[in-house]
Each structure stands twice: as C-alpha cells, then as structure tokens.
Structure 1
C-alpha cells in the first residue's frame, strides 16, 4: 500500500491534546479519523493491531540481543501490508487506527523519552564535550541536508534522515515527522529503517576502529556516544570496548538526545515560515512549540529533579518502548515494495554519507575532549 502526500486544502478543527500541528492532513495510506466520519469511532481496530505488532517486535528484540524492537516492528508492519496486498490490501477499517498509532502514539513515546535524561549527568561531561555535541548535531544536520540537496533526495526525506542520524535514531525521526506540515508515512518508515540498519553496522565498526587506533576507554567512549545512532546501539558498541567507555558513551549519547527539543523547535519554526509564505491561505500554521516537544522538555526536568521512584521510571521506559514500537509497526504498513522501488538508492547513499559525517565530527570532538 503506497504512502501518499498530504491532502491539500483541508481545514482542520481544533486539535486534540496531542495533535501538535493543526496543519496535519490525511495521507492516502492512512485515512485521518477526522476526515473519515464513519470510521472515526473505530480507531481501536488499527491501534489494536499496532499494539499486537509492537508486542511481537519487543518479544523478538528480547530474544535477539542488540536487535532493535523498532526495526522489527517496521519489518512486521511492512510484511503484513505486502502480504495483505495480494488479497486487495488491508481493510479500510484499520486505517484510522493505524493513523492514530503512527502519529499520536509516536508523540507520546517521544515525550516519555525525556525521562531517560538527567541534566546533571550531561553537565558533568564538561563544557568542551557539551559544545562538541552541539557541533555534532548541527554539523550532521546541515551536512546531511546539503548532501541530500546535491543527491536530489526529497526535502522531507532528507530532513528525516538528517534528524535520525544526528540526534537519536528512530525517536528523532519520529519527532521530526511530528512537526512536518507535509509528510509521507513511507518516507518516515524508510528513514527509520536506514537509521537502524546503519547504526547496527556501527556496533561492529566502532570497537574495531577504537582497537586499531589504540584509543583509551574515555576517548573511545566519547567517539562512540558521539557517532552511533540509537541509544541501544551505543550500549552494544561501547559495551564491547569496556565498562569505562560504556559509562562515558551513554552520557554523551543522552546529551545528543537532549538536542531533540531545540532541533524540533527550529524545524517547526521553519515549517511555519514556509507555510506563511505560501500563496495558499487555507492551511493553518503549526504552533511555534509543538505540544509534544514541550512535554519532552517537561519530562527531562522531572527526571532531573529526582522525584520519581525507580519503579515509575522502569514502567515509563517500558511504555515508551511499546508506544514507539506500535508507531513503527503502523508506519511499516505504508512500506510497499513499489514505494521502495520508486525511492531508489539515493536515500541509502544519503544515509551512508550521513553516517560518515557524524563519525568524522564525532572523532574530532573525541580527539579534542578525550
């Protein structure tokens, strides 16, 4: 089932609590429940399927150490959609719930991601590394977007890849997707698959490079945390190097995750400016600060205050994993083989070059601060 462009000219009513951009419109893949009145009261069908897919993906991820549940969820969603296409596609009754999972559940997962961050741990890294993290995220974002333009990759696809590879993998792709005024589910799913694929390769690459170069554990940890895409992948790669490298790498990686809020704020501002300059006037402007970004920041503050018990934090982590996996399953249902064939090799090449950019900038930061 192909993912489509947003439907032009949709006047959207007042958003629900987690509807962060009033400009959000339906795609041809997932029917927005606000534009499909007869199905609007049945979102539990597609959302329930997404939840089952998330549970299966998490189970597979626990059986295979180092395997991302989000990647498994996307693959499961794509498998279900492509098999269903042999018999005419997924039932229309599932589409409102799949749209709900791919947008609302995704944002809630990003909000809960903030509970992983403690500002005191990040400040303890020292200003050279903190400023280096800003350079890593800014340099990788800018470099990836420039290369994407040169490769003639669609602007929204390039932005999704840039966000995922510079900040925190699939969660960052999800966050960028949440502030795009015009989006395609297939592009989001492609970006998540690429960021997980290349990040998995980095699990083997980083320990090998650290050993060949004879890096001390601190420097190797900084480089790994600065370069690898997913938090889980950072843990796997740095764990191979050693416990000291692992401690440093995780905190450096979480400092990159903290950059999610300002980056999404900038992307939202740019989206707002582009829509305001467009000749059409029937599309509402997105908010300057999306609500789920504010929720993410609030969760960072709450975690940093140390007021939540470990049991609550463990439950929130489990909920975050389930929510993001459910969203990835829903996005995966938009990945049809015809969509991938049309995308071609340019997004893959862009992902490889983005990995090279973040690794090189991360190496410079590690050399200066290690």
Structure 2
C-alpha cells in the first residue's frame, strides 16, 4: 500500500522528465535539468495542477526529490577522475578551492545576515559554490533539511545558472578571453554541470574541455564540504546534551560514501566506456526526476515580501563567484 502511494507522483515526475529531455533536444542550449525545475515550479503554482501536487502526487514527488537525488549524486561520482583533476596543476587547483570556500562562506554569512529561514543560508551557500542543485540536495540530505527549505534555493541556483548561459559568452567576448580562459571562467563560476557545458561550448571544444575539468573539480569538493557540515552538526548535537545526542547525524552519510566509492572506481579505470556511458544516462534521468520533485516545492509567494531576500542573496552570490573566478583567472 505504501509503495502504491508513490506511483502517481513518480509517474508524474517521469512524464515531466520526458518533456524536459524533449525540450533539451529541441533547444540543446537549455539543459534538461533546468526545464525540469521550471516544470515543477509551474505544476506547483497553476491552480489546475497545484491541488494534485499537494495531494495524490505528493508522496511520490517527495520520494523522487530525496531518494532519486541521492542515487544521482552517487552516480555523479563516476564522472570524476582524480587523474584529470590533478592534471590541472596545483596553482589552478588552489584557485578553484579558494573560490569555492570564499563563495561558500560569503554566501552563508550573507544569508545569515539577511535572516533567511531555517537551513536556507547553508543550502544557498552549497548550491552557488559547489555544483548547483546537486549540492543543495546533498546538503539537504546530510542536514535533514525539508524539501520546502530546499525548493527556493534550487529555483534560485537554476535561474542564475540559466542566465549565465546567456550572459557569460557575451561578457567573455567583450573581455577578449581566449577559449581556454573562458572555459576556466565558466567551469569555476557556473553552477550546474549541464549549465557549464551549455555555456562553455559557445567558445569551442577547447573551452568546453577546460570548463568540464574545472567544474568536476568543484564537484569533487562536494564530499569534503558535506562531511565538514555533517561533523559540525554532530558537534552541535553533542553540545546540546542527551537530547542532542539522540539526533546525531551520521558521521559519513551513506550517499557520500557511495559518491566517494564511485570516484574511486572511475579513477582506477576498472569500468569500461559502455558502463560509464550507461551510468551517465541513468544519473541524468535520476536528477531530472529529482529536480522536478524539488521544483514542485516552490511557491510564488516564497519570493514576495520577506521572501525577496533570497533573490537578493542569489544575485549577490552569483556576482561574487563570477567576480572571484575572473580575478583568479587574471592572477594565474
């Protein structure tokens, strides 16, 4: 009976995923994950569909937003090779990590200063500094954040990443950046992997190759950042006494262990190209389903009144990461 309750919502997410990928095929510059979030937001805010989203579809959509997201993050590790990351060289690696840490801390601090509710400052920091919606999903799972807390950050990081597809190529041309330099800038500042690809490919294959490696280096930081946040949560729980001890989060979330294991498998080269390609397709579909589910948690009223503060934070954080990346590029 419990499984039967999940079927309508998962089926709706699957239908939305098909539409998202069809839209991507028609307009390759628009990532399917972006379309999935937009469809989810639309479904949650049109009266004709909103009552179903909050009713019979709800259990399956929540399942997709959490379980499929975690599975997708595990498979994301199969795209990462330590060999490729180390090939960037230590100066570039240091720059990428520095940009990430400063953006994370700056966004989190600004979010607290703006008094964003619940775990939204942390989720915004993860999304804008690491890897967009995937990072938000990972931090949500590690900290116990609700789908409602994660929905607005996902919408914001998706919006800004989509705008980057339009803005960065124009800015790169005006700045006269070489293809490899533009690739670094896109990989270091754009949020989601698909959005990075859509942005960088406008400058050619050299820019795309550089962007993907830099971006996947940021993705690799997902594990240590989640583990650090999890460790901080455990420390706070212990300080809270017996009541806090009962709520201790796991030292290493299971999906993070799976992600690291997948990175190890890819780095060792034990998986053939066909397996990696298949896993990549499965990961894309899982994240598309998950992001539709997360999108259905967004309500238009979340961005009015006090909710407009998250829009301000998104714009400032986007400018911060893009500006830091450009400064690092000029310094290298």
Q: Which moved more, 1:343-352 or 1:230-239?
A: 230-239
* Aligned residues of 1:68 and 1:196 also touching (Cα < 8 A): no
* Aligned residues of 1:268 and 1:287 also touching (Cα < 8 A): yes
* Structure 1 residue 314 displacement after superposition: 1.6
* Structure 1 residue 84 displacement after superposition: 5.3
Which residue matches 1:168? 131
Q: Secondary structure at the match of 2:271?
A: coil
* Aligned residues of 2:302 and 2:308 also touching (Cα < 8 A): no
Partners of 1:86 and 1:330 lie apart in 2 by 14
* Aligned residues of 2:71 and 2:255 also touching (Cα < 8 A): yes
- Residue by residue, what CA displacement relative to the aligned partner does 1:144-195 show, whole Å, maximum 9, x if unpaired? 01111222222511111111111111111111111123x2323312111211
- Superposed CA RMSD in Å reads 2.2
* Aligned residues of 2:10 and 2:61 also touching (Cα < 8 A): yes
Which residue matches 2:255? 292
Partners of 1:342 and 1:101 lie apart in 2 by 30
* Structure 1 residue 203 displacement after superposition: 2.0
Which residue matches 1:98? 61
Q: From 206, 220, 223, give the equivalent of 2:182.
A: 220
- Residue by residue, what CA displacement relative to the aligned partner does 1:268-304 show, whole Å, maximum 9, x if unpaired? 1122223333363584311111010011111111111
Q: From 101, 120, 125, give the equivalent of 1:138.
A: 101
Number of aligned residues? 331
Show the 5 A alignment for 1:298-337: 298-337=261-300
Which residue matches 1:263? 225
Q: Which moved more, 1:356-365 or 1:47-56?
A: 47-56
* Structure 1 residue 216 displacement after superposition: 2.7
* Aligned residues of 1:71 and 1:193 also touching (Cα < 8 A): no
* Aligned residues of 1:113 and 1:320 also touching (Cα < 8 A): yes
Which residue matches 1:159? 122
TM-score normalised to structure 1 length: 0.83
* Aligned residues of 2:160 and 2:315 also touching (Cα < 8 A): yes
Indicate how the Cα distance of structure 1 residues 241 and 161 shifts in structure 2: closer, same or farther if over 3 A, else same. Answer: same
- More helix by percentage: 2
Which residue matches 2:316? 353
* Structure 1 residue 89 displacement after superposition: 4.6
* Aligned residues of 1:186 and 1:339 also touching (Cα < 8 A): no
Which residue matches 1:250? 212
* Structure 1 residue 40 displacement after superposition: 5.9
Partners of 1:302 and 1:49 lie apart in 2 by 33
Unaligned runs of 5+ in 2: none
Q: Which moved more, 1:348-357 or 1:220-229?
A: 220-229
Q: From 107, 118, 128, give the equivalent of 2:81.
A: 118
Q: Which moved more, 1:279-288 or 1:190-199?
A: 279-288
Partners of 1:91 and 1:170 lie apart in 2 by 22
* Structure 1 residue 313 displacement after superposition: 1.5
* Structure 1 residue 135 displacement after superposition: 0.4
- State yes or no: 1:205 paired with 2:167: yes
* Structure 1 residue 91 displacement after superposition: 6.6
- State yes or no: 1:77 paired with 2:40: yes
- State yes or no: 1:366 paired with 2:316: no
* Aligned residues of 1:111 and 1:299 also touching (Cα < 8 A): yes
Unaligned runs of 5+ in 1: 1-37
* Aligned residues of 1:226 and 1:253 also touching (Cα < 8 A): yes
* Structure 1 residue 333 displacement after superposition: 2.2
- State yes or no: 1:272 paired with 2:272: no
